Amino acid sequence: MAEEHSRVPREEWRKRVERWRDSGLTAAEFAGELGINPRTLMYWKWLLARDDKASTPALERRQSPKQARASKQAQLAAAVPVAGDRAGLIEIQSAPADARFGSRAGRDGAPLSQRARR
């Protein structure tokens, strides 16, 4: 039974694509059951995935291996305030060799890089 050429709502296409994924059928097989062109089904799969990706915050998206490594390295670097006579300084507990840090000048006007050498 061929589908009428009326506009099908986006949510109906979302349901169709989900049923297709769950069915284990090829696009041609599933589209044949619906009476639609397989390319139309594949187009809606692509379109919905693109829309979902655009609406997902960047941090929740899947990261490339390089991004995942950089994220892990950022998590490993921990800055801890130092108390006592060195108050106002921070101590880096662990950081990757290629990590870079920046700061504004301290109370004495010296940038962190100069104070760290003392």
Q: What pLDDT digit, counting tens, does each position of 3-28 carry? A: 555 688 999 999 999 999 999 999 99
Confidence (pLDDT) at 1: 47
Most confident of 1-10, 54-63, 85-94: 1-10
Beta bridge partners of 90: 81
Alpha helix positions (H), 1-111:
10-23, 27-34, 38-55, 65-76
Q: How much is the mean pLDDT over the chain?
A: 74
Confidence (pLDDT) at 102: 59
What is the sign, positive or negative, of the torsion defined by CA atoms of 16, 18, 23, 29?
A: positive
Angle at 37 between CA 33 and CA 40, to 5 degrees: 115
What is the sign, positive or negative, of the torsion defined by CA atoms of 89, 90, 96, 101?
A: negative
Q: What is the pLDDT of residues 24-60, one digit of tens each?
A: 999 999 999 999 999 999 999 999 999 888 776 655 5
Model confidence pTM above 0.75? no
Q: What is the pLDDT of residues 71-82, one digit of tens each?
A: 666 665 555 555
Q: Of all residues in the chain, what percent carry a pLDDT higher than 70?
A: 47
Asked if residue 86 has pLDDT above 80, the reply is: no
